[in-house]
Amino acid sequence: MDKDRLYEYDIQFAKQKLKEYSKSGVEPELCIKINGNEYMIIPLKDKISFQQVGKTNEFYYNSIEELFSAKLVNGIILNNDWEKIEDIYYY
């Protein structure tokens, strides 16, 4: 893991950035790897999408908090499993 990206592991920082992107209409793909699986989070203007890269369709949530507290693909819950992130990057 690149030390310059370690700050992105902070869950509050990530939530805040996703909220900012959503409000501004910018749609970067936040990619994370947990338990060897890659996932993509995309903040959209009126919702947020989540998917396992290459394996599932997109699932949509009304807010970042709803996404982070939902039971997602492979049983992960971002609020509980954020510290298990092995890699994180924006695409």
Average pLDDT of the chain, as a whole number: 88
**Diameter of the chain measured on Cα atoms:** 33
Digit-coded pLDDT (tens) for 26-56:
888 899 999 999 999 999 988 999 999 999 8
Rounded Cα distance, 43 and 84, in Å: 21
Rounded Cα distance, 48 and 83, in Å: 21
**Phi/psi-derived region of residue 65, left when phi > 0, alpha when psi is between -120 and 50, beta in every other case:** alpha
* DSSP assignments along 23-62, one per residue: HHT----EEEEETTEEEEEEE-SS-EEEEETTTS--EEES
